[in-house]
Amino acid sequence: MASKDSFDAFISIVRDKIDAFSENASQPNVKIIQNELKDKFDDLAKSQGYVSNDEYEALQGLAKRLEQRVSRLEELLESKTK
């Protein structure tokens, strides 16, 4: 789905939820709507190539560990060629 189509779909979902909310504004519905919108927005963001902060930090940690491993391997290779 194109970026504009994804955005239009998200806006449509938000409008539907706001309409439903205005018909019956009880507190449990607010939490339900909030959770549904968060899930839909997260899906939309992921479909556009974004990741959550937790996922970013996990990937960053993996990258650092891989860099350390490559550095150690380069040092070992260098010491064996001398």
Show pLDDT as tens, one digit a residue, over the chain (82 residues).
Answer: 456 677 777 777 777 777 776 666 566 666 777 778 778 888 887 888 888 888 889 999 999 999 999 999 999 999 888 7
63 and 24 part of one domain: no
pTM score: 0.48
Which residue range is the domain that position 76 belongs to? 53-82
SS3 category, 52? coil
- Assess whether 61 and 77 both reside in one domain: yes
- CA gap 66, 10 in Å, rounded: 37
Distance CA 28, CA 19 (A): 16
3 and 37 in a common domain: yes
Count of domains for the chain: 2
